[in-house]
Amino acid sequence: MKSKFRTALLSAAFGAAALLGAVLPAHADGEKYVLIHHSPDSETFWNTVKNGASLASKEVGAEITFRNPPTGDLADMVRIIQQTAAEGPSGIIVTIPDADLVGGPIADAIAKGIPVVTMNTGTFEQSKELGALLHVGQPEYDAGKGAGEKAKAAGIKSFLCVNSLFPNVAGEQRCKGFADGLGVELGTQMIDSGTDATEIANRVKAYLSANPNTEAVLTLGPMTAIPTIQALKDNGLAGDIYFVTFDLTPDVSKAIKDGIIKFAVDQQPFLQGYLPVITLTNYIRYGVLPANSVLSGPGFVTKDNIGLVESLAGQYR
């Protein structure tokens, strides 16, 4: 009796397994993913994103390739997306710096049956409209507004926004959020700094010289933060003017410890690289997908909590 019961139980189990196998998507280890972002080669922020994606790829046994326009030219990014889609990778991870420019090529890749996860730049709504699986990133306006509210609480009423991200709309969203957090209008205090370190420092010094009553400086990443640190040292304002930046590097961490930068807005770039690889792999292999996009930030790193993250800045934070 027991033997018949065991046989029936095993038969049912194998039948269920066969049925389950029939409905799951076919897969094989060794998926090939391409991560495409919009920034120039000089932007060190992406090293942490790459670390996250590389670790995830190693853990799941996939391959990851990184591509970007060397000078940050979005027309070049469009071509990169198109070329990547033509190659037919297992999945694409991509930013949305300007939905009007890159949205079409991203949607075309999805229409070809390539799974896409968007990350970093862009909104959850844009990602959904394009047909991506989900978005991993920081709501840029909300992050800027949160930073502005902290500055307002410290008594700040005016600021300079050093924006190197043109034409990426994320830059304006951060600056506008900061202005709204302060309760002021965004106007000429947002400058196009360019991406050359010397030029950034010169433009910061020129603005502060022409507007000596400026109470705060907001930089949108290490590319502008590091030259701004030098500019403030040159004109004797380092440690006196209220200085806020986005993102972490060892240099930014040191400036926080030294009292030059009040706080950094942390969007956890490691997660922006790591989670899309895991998401794509689970979707391709098992047909499972999180129900929602992922908020990777903002968090705020200050002198009080820098000790928890400084050893990881530029690598995992």
Q: What is the DSSP letter of 62?
A: -
Q: Which fold has domain 140-266?
A: Rossmann fold (3.40.50)
| Predicted pLDDT of residue 247 | 92
What CA–CA distance (Å, rounded) separates 24 from 16?
12
Q: Given this chain, do its domains 32-138+268-297 and 140-266 carry the same CATH topology?
A: yes
Is residue 171 within 8 Å of 223, Cβ to Cβ? no
Please list the pLDDT of the chain residue by residue as tens digits (317 residues). 434 333 343 343 334 333 333 344 444 568 999 999 999 998 888 999 999 999 999 999 999 999 999 999 999 999 999 999 999 999 999 999 999 999 999 999 999 999 999 999 999 999 999 999 999 999 999 999 999 999 999 999 999 999 988 777 889 999 999 999 999 999 999 999 998 999 999 999 999 999 999 999 999 999 999 999 999 999 999 999 999 999 988 899 999 999 999 999 999 999 999 999 999 999 999 999 999 999 999 999 999 999 888 788 778 88
**Pairing label, strands 116-120, 91-94:** parallel
Q: What is the domain partition of the chain in residue ranges?
A: 32-138+268-297, 140-266
Unique residue bearing structure tokens 């949108």: 220
Please list the residues that pair with 263 across neighbouring strands.
244, 302
Q: Find the length of the chain.
A: 317
Question: What are the phi and psi torsion angles at 138 (to 5°)?
Answer: -110, 130
- How is residue 52 annotated by DSSP? H
Q: Give the tokens for residue 254.
A: 């040191």
Per DSSP, the three-state class of 14 is helix
Among the four given CATH numbers 1.10.1530.10, 1.10.3720.10, 3.30.230.10, 3.40.50.2300, the one describing domain 32-138+268-297: 3.40.50.2300
Chain-centroid distance of CA 285 in Å reads 25
The residues, any chain, with a CB within 8 Å of residue 69's CB and separated by 6 or more, are 38, 40, 76, 77, 80
The whole-number pLDDT of residue 293 equals: 96
Taken in order 43, 49, 53, 55, is the CA torsion positive or negative?
positive
Closest C-alpha to 269, from 35, 111, 18: 35
Measured at the CA of 27, the angle between CA 94 and CA 23, to 5 degrees, comes to 110
Contact 93/276 with Cβ under 8 angstroms?
yes
40 phi and psi angles, rounded to 5 deg: -70, 170
Q: Give the pair of three-digit tokens for residue 1.
A: 């009796």
